């Protein structure tokens, strides 16, 4: 995907979302925040308003989130490639450097594929001429813009946006942790409180963050963080994001910008 395609898509998306976009967004998401992080943050904000959206707007919201994820991943990959080209890397570090480069490339491909899927689905809700003009270069093969069905696509296609799909994409950046690991990560909460949270997981909703680990039941750090923001008044978005940023697994470290950055205060209000 080139920058021109992304700009056109973004313009259509923001037009569709209309008054749902916060008035202060365009001034806050300025030079202090990269384009990718700004779009990702706006996508997260708008995801809370999905009950007010049409199906087309809900898809637009998801695409905005994925645009942000794709931009951040692609920028991180470009930065790594530029650094590799300009620096002399010691032979003993070349293997690690190549591994990081490959992992960054995998992140780009993953988010690009997700973005293509949602664009294909979104295009079915657009007038035929807009569907062709906006997405002819980047949607999946085997569909007709403006139609209501997909004809034998070459790549398996999502049929509708899953519930909380924005959270699923972000949760996928993290590896599951044991209960002890979760308590150690979010150590601003005492161990006794965590014990009560885990024991009552089925009743308090924490069970929705549970994942099966290799040998025992684990929890996804991102989903736990989202749960804490909703259920513990002492936990702020900024606090949780900082914890997550510092504990990304190696395969996702190139996405750290999503959870850090300056000038975010107004977007959290």
Q: What is the pLDDT of residues 59-118, one digit of tens each?
A: 888 888 888 888 888 888 888 888 777 777 676 667 777 887 888 888 888 888 888 888
The DSSP 8-state label assigned to residue 20 in this structure reads G
Specify whether the CB–CB gap between 120 and 157 falls below 8 A: yes
Q: What pairing do the DSSP bridges indicate for beta strands 217-219 and 210-212? A: antiparallel
More confident residue, 140 or 6: 6
Nearest to 69 by CA among 95, 102, 34: 34
Greatest C-alpha distance within the chain: 60
How far is 209 from 201, CA to CA, in rounded Å?
Answer: 9
How far is 71 from 193, CA to CA, in rounded Å?
Answer: 38
Looking at residue 129, its pLDDT comes to 61
Range with the poorest average pLDDT among 20-29, 105-114, 147-156, 248-257: 147-156
More confident residue, 161 or 46: 46
For 119-131, what is each residue's pLDDT tens digit?
Answer: 888 887 777 666 5
Asked whether residue 184 carries a pLDDT value surpassing 90, the answer given is yes
Residue 144 confidence class, pLDDT cut points 50, 70, 90? very low
**Residue 212, beta-bridge partner list:** 217
The alpha carbon of 157 is separated from its chain's Cα centroid by a whole number of angstroms, namely 19
Nearest to 9 by CA among 107, 109, 123: 123
Residue 32 confidence class, pLDDT cut points 50, 70, 90? low
How far is 112 from 101, CA to CA, in rounded Å?
Answer: 17
For 199-219, what is each residue's pLDDT tens digit?
Answer: 999 999 999 999 876 667 899
More confident residue, 63 or 169: 63
Query: What values do phi and psi take at 241, rounded to 5?
Result: -60, -35
Looking at residue 136, its pLDDT comes to 56
Mean pLDDT over all residues of the chain? Answer: 76
């Amino acid at each position: 995907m080139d920058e021109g395609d992304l700009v056109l898509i973004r313009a259509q998306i923001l037009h569709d979302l209309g008054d749902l976009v916060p008035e202060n967004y365009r001034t806050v998401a300025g030079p202090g925040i990269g384009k990718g992080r700004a779009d990702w943050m706006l996508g997260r904000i708008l995801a809370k308003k999905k009950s007010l959206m049409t199906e087309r707007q809900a898809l637009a919201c998801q695409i905005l989130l994925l645009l942000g994820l794709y931009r951040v991943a692609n920028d991180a990959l470009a930065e790594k490639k530029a650094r590799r080209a300009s620096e002399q890397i010691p032979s003993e570090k070349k293997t690690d450097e190549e591994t990081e480069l490959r992992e960054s490339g995998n992140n780009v491909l993953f988010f690009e594929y997700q973005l293509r899927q949602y664009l294909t689905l979104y295009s079915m809700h657009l007038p035929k001429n807009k569907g062709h003009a906006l997405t002819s270069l980047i949607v999946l093969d085997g569909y007709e813009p403006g139609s209501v069905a997909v004809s034998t696509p070459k790549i398996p296609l999502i049929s509708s946006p899953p519930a909380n799909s924005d959270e699923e994409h972000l949760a996928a950046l993290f590896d599951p942790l044991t209960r002890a690991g979760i308590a150690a990560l979010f150590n601003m909460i005492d161990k006794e409180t965590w014990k009560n949270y885990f024991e009552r997981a089925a009743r308090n909703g924490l069970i929705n963050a549970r994942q099966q680990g290799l040998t025992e039941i684990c929890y996804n750090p991102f989903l736990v963080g989202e749960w804490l923001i909703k259920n513990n008044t002492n936990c702020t978005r900024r606090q949780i994001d900082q914890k997550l940023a510092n504990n990304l697994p190696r395969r996702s470290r190139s996405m750290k910008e999503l959870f850090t950055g300056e000038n975010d205060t107004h977007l959290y209000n």
